[in-house]
Amino acid sequence: MSESTVHDPEQPGGEQPGREQHSPERPVDEGTAQQGSGHPAFEYEKDGAAIYRRSFATIRAEADLGALPPDVAQVAVRMIHACGMTDLVRDLVHTPAVVARARAALRAGAPILCDAAMVASGVTRRRLPADNEVVCTLSDPSVPGLAVELGTTRTAAALELWRDRMDGAVVAVGNAPTALFRLLEMIERGAPRPAAVIGVPVGFVGAAESKDALAAHPLRLEHLVVRGRRGGSAIAAAALNAIASEEE
């Protein structure tokens, strides 16, 4: 083999391991380079505002929102947007004034109490009307001991640290059915009443039952729930964001 045919990776023009070599006579097409040889670039919507507009228009076209009051329908659209299921509407149960009461509470500066950090993280702070405090007490160092003392889950035990903030607050339970049951127990025993409860814990054990308990409870708390097993932190945060601001 002559010297002219030997490729030294350390020399200019030598092959670089792991790097595709392109002839200088053939300019590289940017789209082809991004997708791989022979594959065209993807065509998709890149404008965030346009994506939101089209998403909400699709939801309003496909979901049966006609039976809902306008303010609840607006919240439902956001909840559907978070989960992609337009049939969520059929499982929504709410008191007539839940959105109005929750909005009034937030405008007055009420805190938002969340059972899980994922719910709290999902709240869009710029939408809050009064720079409202968003609270999740699950990571407090005292919670593991409280859970042992009370014989319950950590998420439920963490609600004990809400007591001085509960009066007139907006509560969102998106993760743990035990937290929703515990909330009802606390209020039954004299804890302050929140202004409204978004009750959408998800799961196979206790989720449906906890939401049914909230909806049927003689305390008559203002509430918005998704019946059955469906729910979750994203849906809870979406409901809060829709309540916080009427801007879609």
Q: What is the pLDDT of residues 68-113, one digit of tens each?
A: 999 999 999 999 999 999 999 999 999 999 999 999 999 999 999 9
CA distances from 136 to 119, 157, 161 (A): 9, 12, 9
Query: Which span out of 2-6, 17-21, 25-29, 141-145 was modeled with the highest average pLDDT?
Result: 141-145
Residues of the chain with pLDDT > 90, as a percent, come to: 80
Q: Which CATH superfamily is domain 68-244 in?
A: Cobalamin biosynthesis CobH/CbiC, precorrin-8X methylmutase (3.40.50.10230)
Name the residue among 137, 190, 186, 194 with its Cα closest to residue 170. 194
In the chain, list all ranges with CATH 3.40.50.10230.
68-244
Q: Give catalytic residue positions.
A: 81
Predicted TM-score of the model (pTM)? 0.82
pLDDT band at 34 (very low <50, low <70, confident <90, very high): low
Say if CB 82 and CB 58 are below 8 A apart.
Answer: no
Average pLDDT over residues 52-78: 95
Per-residue pLDDT tens for 115-127? 999 999 999 999 9
In our burial notation (b when 16+ CB lie closer than 10 A, e otherwise), range 179-197 reads bbbbbbebbeeebebbbbb
For 199, phi then psi, to 5°, come to: -110, 95
pLDDT band at 39 (very low <50, low <70, confident <90, very high): confident
Per-residue pLDDT tens for 156-209? 999 999 999 999 999 999 999 999 999 999 999 999 999 999 999 999 999 999
Which DSSP state fits 96?
T
Which amino acid is residue 176, in one-letter code? Answer: A
